[in-house]
Every structure is written in C-alpha cells, then in structure tokens.
Amino acid sequence: MMIKGKAYKKLLAKAKRYESDLCIKMQKAVEAGDLKKADQLLMLYLESFYCKFVALDKAYKKIRRRNRPAVTDPEKMAKALNPFEGSQEVVKLLMLPREDKPDHARIVWSFGLEQRALQILVAKALRPFAKLAENQFLFDGGIQNAIRAVLQYLEEGYEAIVEVDINSCYNSYNEEKVLKLLPPLPEDMVKKVIIGKHLPLSLQCSGFTFDTTELQLGDDIASDDFSEAIVEARRGIPQGSSVSPLVSDMLLATTIEQLDIPEAVRLVVYADNFLIMAKTVAEATTTALALREALCSHPAGPLSSRILNAGWAKEGFPYLGHAFKFLGNKFYVEPTTENREKFDRTYEKLLKSALNASLSAKKQQGRLAKAERYVRSWCSVFRLWDGMKEFRLERLTHTRSLKMKIESKFLIPPSAAE
C-alpha cells in the first residue's frame, strides 16, 4: 500500500496544478512553432519533482490492488525517478491466450511501479509533440468516438467496408528506426523507457516461471523451450507499456497523413486497426491495397497486415467489439455475441464468488460491490447500444437485491455494509 493522508493529498493537488500548467505551456509552444521553448519545457517536465509525483500516483493506481507494492515514502520514490537512466526492475512477461486463437499465446509485459511511473511521465511529456491524424481515435475519444464516426459515415452512404489490422504491430517496429523517429526525446531515454531492451525479464506461463534476470539481449538462449517467446518479446516496443500506445500512434500517423485517400473514401483508425469505408467495393478495395503497401514500406517497419473483414455494411459486421446491424433503414450497434458471452461468464463468476457461504458479510458485500463496478465499467464501453441502460439496470438491480439479502441474513445495518 501507499501511505496517503492529508499531507499527501495536498501535495498531490499542488503537483497536479503545476503539471497541468506545464503541459499547457508545452502545447502552446508547439502550436506556436517555438520548438526551442518547447524542448526546454520538455526537459523541465521530465526533471520536475511535481510531474514525477503525479506520474507515480497514476502508476500506483494502474496496478491491481493485490499486486501493489508497499510504498512508505512516495516523495522519496518520486524524487528518485530518472527517465534518463531508466529502471532495473524485473519485468514479468505474461503469456496470455489470444482471444482469436485460444491455442496461441500473446506476450504482455507486466511492469513494476517504478518503470510504469517512468512510462507515464514520458508519455505525458511526449503528448504535446504528437502530431496525430484527425481520424485516429485512440487518443481522441477512444472507442466511443470511433464507433460514432462509423455510424455517421454509414448514414452518409459509405457502406462498402474493408477492415485491415497490423500483424503483431508493436513487435514489428524496428527499434533502431524508432530511435530516429521520436524527437525530441534523447535516444538513451527512448532506449531505456520506451523500448526497454536492457530490462531483466521473468517469463510466466501456466504457473511456471522462467527467470531471465541475468539474460541480456543477444545472449544465447536457444536451448531453452521459451527462447522464442523471449526473443519475440524483445522485438519492437513492449506490449503492456503505458507509453507504447502513444508511440505507435505517432509512428502510424505519418503513414496515414501521406496516404492518398480518395474524396469518396473515409478512414477510421483505432490503434493498429483500420476501417476503410467507401460507396463502392472497388474504392474500398483499392484504398485497402494502398494502405497495406504503405504499411509495408513504413519508415519504422516493414509492417505486415491482414484483412479481417470485407463486404457490405448492411449485411452486418463486427468492429471494435461492437456488432453493427441494419434494421428498418437504420444502422444500430450492440455488443458482439462474444462480448455478451464473456460478460455473462465474468458476471456469474463474480456473483458465485460473492455468495460463498464461508465468507464474512463484509467480504461478501465487497465482492458484490466489485460485481457492480464490473457491470458499470462494461456497460460504459457500450453506451451507444440502445439496450444498454435497460441491460445495466437489470444487472445492478439483481446485484443490489443480493446485497440486501446478505444484509438481512447477517443482520447488519446498510451503513456498516458500505
């Protein structure tokens, strides 16, 4: 846990005000074309105790409660953060099953508090310098704005669609080329915070841990069963880093801006996913081909891609976890069947865990509160679904009824349960 009190909250509020003002000044300097001043403010940001303190607080909150380390002196830890030197924390490599291929694994880096704080610090400092395309939505309203854009274009008649996705996007970037494409950050900072090839790794798969703490890039580990996974993880920029999404969007923005998109074609981009929308199949197909060729010749690539979906929107299609349907001369969205089934499994699992008779009333209430948070969080992703409010109300009502039964069973007042 991190020790927090009135003094901590007061310091954090002051730090947030300073950090916010500095970000605004950097943004204004970049927009005015005063790059010298912007670079000076960037260095000031990266060396600022207040900015480091805000980054540390955000990093701590991003870590799951059960995995949060004990921090007895957050001020001391914030002062010690050095984006120019990086961190030597051991990084866990998690081998997780892929949703599209359950028998295959994807590798996600699980960073510690210090490294994650450095990533957040660098990402926030880099944001004012990021020249993203207007149709990139990861940092412009997220999935909701991307879905809104698709619905708008469908209403305007752009119903021929082709969805293109980059294969292993993060791992496909050439590290040496990335170094030259991320001004104004010093190369050492890019290497140590963004790419992180120097970091010691610990591979975890199905309860088995393969320690690679002593291994460095280039070491001979070919005899090990996990050598391929380690080598794959070392490529490109790390999956799971707080700064990788912004870096990837910045790298892709150049290709998007240089792509010669016809006036009769619309493009929606979310992270490494591209949805091409046109009024004819020929226009959509031609643009998809041009996009894939541009990705292959990306300055930090080559980036290979695949077509996930192609056809007419009126036939229905999935995109970013949403199912688009055409009913009564109008397009609607709802969660895909896979997302609904995943929600049902998780929700039932949470309820089953909460109703364990061996638990105390307080623990049961806590787990039901977790189920409530899950319902709200999941529904917020699908707020453009017409049936979302009714769906959410039904689940929340059911969860609250269970809480009331537990309260009456254990004869505890509601205030105590909360």
Residue range 325-374, pLDDT digits in tens? 999 889 999 999 999 999 999 999 999 999 888 888 888 989 999 999 99
Q: What is the pLDDT of residue 97?
A: 65
Q: What is the pLDDT of residue 225?
A: 47
- Integer CA distances (angstroms), 36 to 26, 39, 184, 189, in order: 11, 5, 10, 19
Q: What is the pLDDT of residue 400?
A: 92
pLDDT-based confidence at 224, cuts 50/70/90?
A: very low
Percent of the chain at pLDDT > 90 equals: 64
Q: What is the pLDDT of residue 143?
A: 95
Give yes or no for residue 10 having a pLDDT over 80.
yes
Give yes or no for residue 215 having a pLDDT over 50.
no
Give yes or no for residue 186 having a pLDDT over 50.
yes
What is the C-alpha to C-alpha distance for residues 245 and 140, in angstroms, rounded to an integer? 13
> Chain-wide mean pLDDT for the chain?
87
Of 58-62, 138-142, 409-413, minimum mean pLDDT range = 409-413
Q: What is the pLDDT of residue 103?
A: 56
Q: What is the pLDDT of residue 3?
A: 64
Give yes or no for residue 311 having a pLDDT over 80.
yes
Give yes or no for residue 100 having a pLDDT over 70.
no
Give the pLDDT confidence of 117-160 residue by residue, as tens digits: 999 999 999 999 999 999 999 999 999 999 999 999 999 999 99
